[in-house]
Amino acid sequence: MNPLQGKRIVLGVSGSIAAYKAADLASKLTQAGALVDVVLSDGAERFVTPLTFASLTGRKAHASLWDSDAHVVHVGLGEGADLLVIAPCTANTLAKLATGQADNLLTLTALTARCPVLVAPAMDGGMFEHPATQANLETLRRRGVQVLGPAQGRMASGLTGLGRMLEPGEILGHVRLASSRNGPLAGKHVAVSAGGTQEPLDPVRYITNRSSGKQGFALAQAALDLGARVSLVVGATAAALPTPAGAERTDVDTAAQMAEAVLELSRTADVLIMAAAVADFRPRQVQAHKIKKGALPQVELEHTQDILLAVAEQRRRVGRPAVVVGFAAESEKLLENAQDKLERKNLSMIVANDISARDAGFAVDTNRVSLLLPGGLVEPLPLMTKSEVAEAILARVVGLLAEVAGS
């Protein structure tokens, strides 16, 4: 289901010091299953060699326009590509692309390309802000070229400003997103909650849980891979996880904030996947000042709102989301408890995981879950990575949406 698997990607590299990072990008794209053909400009060849890229991609890397087969190469590469990514893209190459010049193999290939084009500018010392560069970018944007970054930060000259190339991991995310446009969830809006909430006791203490948010983030990525628009509501314990490219993210701390964000999204979303570990209780009173250690405090708790129950009630009124998926984290009577939650919270599906197992549940990268559907249908899945679990869940969601549409 990885949208990069088997895709033909032409990676154009132009002459910036960020060319060394293009080697990492070529490696990441190849590891993601893409067939990566690298084309270097003359300037790029001064920083890195075709051999670097050939070694990483397992395919010939191209540079000189005057190789005996180059005239065939540029047409073949350009026309056969699923995607053209130029990273780094210098101010000079941007200008050439904007004016349709074709003086090297990279710009020639760009002119023959009929596929989506992404460029990741990299330049130093205020060149990005120059009206000439901005005008060139505007021209390219109007033609449908997607411009990635640049980022703010320290540049090779020692100056700080806008001009750093996005990191290879971020560029990979955008390439992945661009490759998944026409997936089976195109046009659908999927809301996902992830991570655990924090319920404050005083200004420095809170009650929380061990949820890492990894499963929820993997679900967001899997939905993006199928072409969905994705909103991700992130609990405080997962705040440090990087946002999957293309996801609209809302960060929250408490169960009450998560309830507000999820209920709002659920008014219009097609799918809600509630993977967050929401606190079930919170201190009845939040102390305005730090509790001193002198006397042992008596902490009185109260229930938080059950978000899925509130979603079920709202769904009866507004008819959305069409599909609602819950999770059941259990340490005993896994299927019995999950079945009970499926019915009580009026879910389309519940994902049950046994948190007492060492290789599943919190913090680890693997999970072992069973999918439960109304009517007593239970599908146990083997031990899988959280990404694989996410793909299996989303495959089910596609089927459930089709069932709703057909009924």
Nearest to 26 by CA among 43, 5, 47, 11: 11
Told to judge if 2 belongs to the known catalytic residues of this protein, a careful annotator would answer: no
Cis peptide before 321 (omega within 30 of 0): yes
Residues 217-256 touching ligand CTP, rule: CB under 6 A, are 255
Nearer Cβ to ligand CTP, position 168 or 195?
195
Q: Tell me the closest approach of the beta carbon of residue 306 to ligand CTP, in angstroms.
A: 4
Residues 306-345 touching ligand CTP, rule: CB under 6 A, are 306-308, 326-329, 341
Convert residues 257-296 into a mask of x (bound to ligand CTP by CB under 6 A) and - (unbound).
-----------------x-x-x-x----------------
Binding-site residue total for ligand CTP (CB under 6 A)?
A: 14
Nearest to 210 by CA among 195, 194, 199: 195
Residues 118-137 touching ligand CTP, rule: CB under 6 A, are none
3-state secondary structure of 352: strand
Nearer Cβ to ligand CTP, position 106 or 274?
274
Out of 92, 104, 136, 209, which one is annotated catalytic?
209
Does residue 304 bind ligand CTP (CB under 6 A)? Answer: yes
Q: In the bound complex, which residue of the shown chain has the CB atom lying closest to ligand CTP?
A: 307
Strands of the 369-373 sheet, one edge to the other:
248-251, 229-234, 189-194, 271-274, 323-330, 349-354, 369-373, 377-380
How remote is the C-alpha of 49 from its chain's centroid?
A: 31
Nearer Cβ to ligand CTP, position 329 or 389?
329
For residue 404 the two structure tokens come to: 């709703």
Nearer Cβ to ligand CTP, position 52 or 211?
211
Q: How far apart are CA 292 and CA 299, in angstroms?
A: 13
Q: How far apart are CA 340 and CA 346, in angstroms?
A: 10
Q: Tell me the closest approach of the beta carbon of residue 268 to ligand CTP, in angstroms.
A: 19
Q: How far apart are CA 396 and CA 219, in angstroms?
A: 12
Which residues are at the interface with ligand CTP (CB under 6 A)? 255, 274, 276, 278, 280, 304, 306-308, 326-329, 341
Catalytic residues: 209
